A and B are shown apart, each in its own frame.
Chain A
Amino acid sequence: MPQLTEIRWHARAGQGAVTAAKVVAETALAADKYMQAMPEYGPERMGAPIKAFTRISTDPIEIHCNIEYPDIVIVLDDSLLDIVDIAEGVHDGGVILVNTCTPPDQVKTRLGVNDSVRVASVDASGIALDTIKRDIPNTPMVGALIKLTSVIDMDVFKGLLAKNLSKKFGQEMIDANWASVDRAFAEVTVA
């Protein structure tokens, strides 16, 4: 049977969710998988709540609609927990990963999801500020995602990250991004 993984990203415009969805898709392609990545387009205003979607599969992907029943939900901004139903449609046994300082058990209680859903917290913004020196949480969030699921490969991801960054930045920036990925991988906690 085809193995299809569906990821829904929640973020505020400008946080890099679309870029992250794209890099995750490229990482999947590098492992010879099929993938799809698309933002839900609307009026583009910095800070507005947005969604983006990534599908990864062992077989060609034929569906061309939004993801309503995700396997994985990634939230780049925890202020969205108050205004968006980020847990909507999440599968039993699914994963919700939030960029937050709040411990995962508290996030889980607040979301009111059933026990089979794994809820994870990581302070990706804090890590990004320490390493990349800017609040761009998308890259460390992928590091945490890799810890929680085997949907993409860490080495392939880091390789692509370096390749993409090297177009505009030097080794220092690549090292900072790698450090952010490693720290999020190490620091993410699950309830």
Chain B
Amino acid sequence: MAEHKTLATTGNSVVAEAMRQCKPNVMAAYPITPQTTIVEEFAGFVAKGRTDCEYVTVESEHSAMSACVGASAAGARVMTATSSQGLALMWEELHIAAGMRLPIVMANANRALSAPINIHCDHSDIMGARDTGWVTFFAETAQEAYDNTIMAVRIAEHPDVMLPVMSTLDGFITTHSIDRVDVLDDASVSGFVGEYRPKNPLLNTEAPALHGSFAGLGGPFFEFKRQQREAMESARTVIKQVGDEYAQISGRPFDVIDTWGMDDAETAIVVLGSTAGNARHVARELRAQGEKVGVVKVRVWRPFPYAELAAALKGVKAVAVLDRAESFGAEGGPLFLETRSALYDAEARVPVVGYIYGLGGADVRLELIERVYQDLSDIAAGGVAPGSLVYLGAREEA
């Protein structure tokens, strides 16, 4: 195991620290609540000479990602961070970064999208970027946000992947809370991520290369997309390899899903991000009372771990999926849809209940989690299932 120090610090602060330790050549970023302190602290590292990085101040997130695309194509290791409306404004460049196979690493402070205006946590922003072709991680804690950011560099730059990676953490809940975090020493991190050796950098005048060119009708566009899919599939193996290697220096085991109590669980909650902790806390208390409950936390959202999730849920009598984002007009939120899809080939048909929770930062009180487990217990016992979708904790009249 590598040297480490234990700090009382925030999620944003350790993401900035992880970025410094990964030594990007270029960062182009625009501040937005609740991501601001990431780019603020990183800019401080640049100003104080603690990292040798070209920090590009831009006038919008659209420009931020455009500058990242240019710098990455030029051959630089590139990082940025955003949130909410900022991620939404980047939307077209997100596709370009992935289509050009640029290993950009971006942190996202998960936050609601307007309207109404709201600066607090939900996953609407990230779900809007779901199909842009980025490998996407969710963090429960500041520790996971730190670890994911470092692993993201290795995954993005792996020759079998060459895709941008998003490392997300829940706005305010994880970005701004002070938590206990183990931070590795600089040498261990730089040794782990290594140096980026771009394959066809634009700045190599000895071997001129064309990036992002026209590939219209009859051109290779369709085949490019198949290659992107292959790269995303390859990422499944690479993520596990990198996770195993990282565990050796960090002492923290990594897998694409994290399970608690699932060996003999009769009911289970599937969840992304910080709420996994609330679910586990309640599950521990229910276990102490003899209830066979479990929790599955999905750590990697793209590529989605279908096989791992189906295996974890095998034998369960009822499943609740908690979504912190809407997909209006669909049967449930994005995680609900994936979970049902993962279970389609399962031998036994398992009732899956969708819950929308915590939109716009609505507090995820423990009693809400208790209510979900109670619903599951009723369903498992053959009682009547609640409606196909529950707005968990929403007031009848606001």
Contacts and interface: CB of A to CB of B under 8 A. Distances in A.
Nearest to A28: B8
A22 to B, nearest CB: 6
A35 B178 contact: yes
Contacts of A25: 8, 178
B278 A65 contact: yes
Interface string A137-148: 000000000000
A38 B176 contact: yes
Interface in B158-189: 170, 172-174, 176-180
Given A35-B178, A36-B177, A41-B176, A65 B8 contact: no
A36 B178 contact: yes
B178 A38 contact: yes
A58 B170 CA distance: 25
Interface centre among B34, B170, B172 (most CB of A within 10 A): B172
A62 B178 contact: no
Contacts of A63: 277-278, 281, 366
B178 A22 contact: yes
B343 to A, nearest CB: 26
A36 B278 CA distance: 14
A13 B6 CA distance: 29
Interface centre among A35, A41, A60, A68 (most CB of B within 10 A): A41
A64 B179 CA distance: 11
A26 interface: yes
A55 to B, nearest CB: 10
Interface in A1-36: 21-22, 25-26, 29, 34-36
A189 interface: no
B123 interface: no
Nearest to B34: A41
Contact of B178 (A37, A60, A66): A37
A39 interface: yes
B319 to A, nearest CB: 21
Interface string A44-72: 00000000000000001111111010000
A36 B275 CA distance: 15
Interface string B286-315: 000000000000000000000000000000
A29 B181 CA distance: 10
Interface string B179-210: 11000000000000000000000000000000
A22 B180 CA distance: 12
B280 interface: yes
B364 interface: yes
B349 interface: no
A187 B6 CA distance: 35
B278 A64 contact: yes
Given A29-B6, A41-B172, A64 B178 contact: no
A25 B6 CA distance: 13
Nearest to B358: A65
Given A22-B8, A25-B8, A29-B180, A64 B174 contact: yes
Contacts of A64: 140, 170, 173-174, 177, 274-275, 277-278, 364
Interface in B259-292: 274-275, 277-278, 280-281
B170 to A, nearest CB: 8
Interface in B117-139: 119-120
Contacts of B281: 62-63
Contacts of A66: 363, 365
B120 A41 contact: yes
A33 to B, nearest CB: 8
Given A29-B6, A64-B278, A65-B278, A38 B363 contact: no
Nearest to A66: B363
A29 B180 CA distance: 7
A41 B37 CA distance: 15
Interface in B96-148: 119-120, 140
Interface of B: 6-8, 34, 119-120, 140, 170, 172-174, 176-180, 274-275, 277-278, 280-281, 363-366
22 contacts: A25-B178, A29-B8, A34-B180, A35-B178, A35-B179, A36-B178, A36-B179, A37-B177, A37-B178, A38-B172, A38-B173, A38-B176, A38-B178, A39-B176, A61-B277, A63-B277, A64-B173, A64-B274, A64-B275, A65-B366, A66-B363, A68-B365
The 8 tightest CB contacts between A and B, nearest first, are A62-B277, A38-B177, A37-B178, A64-B274, A29-B8, A26-B8, A62-B281, A63-B281
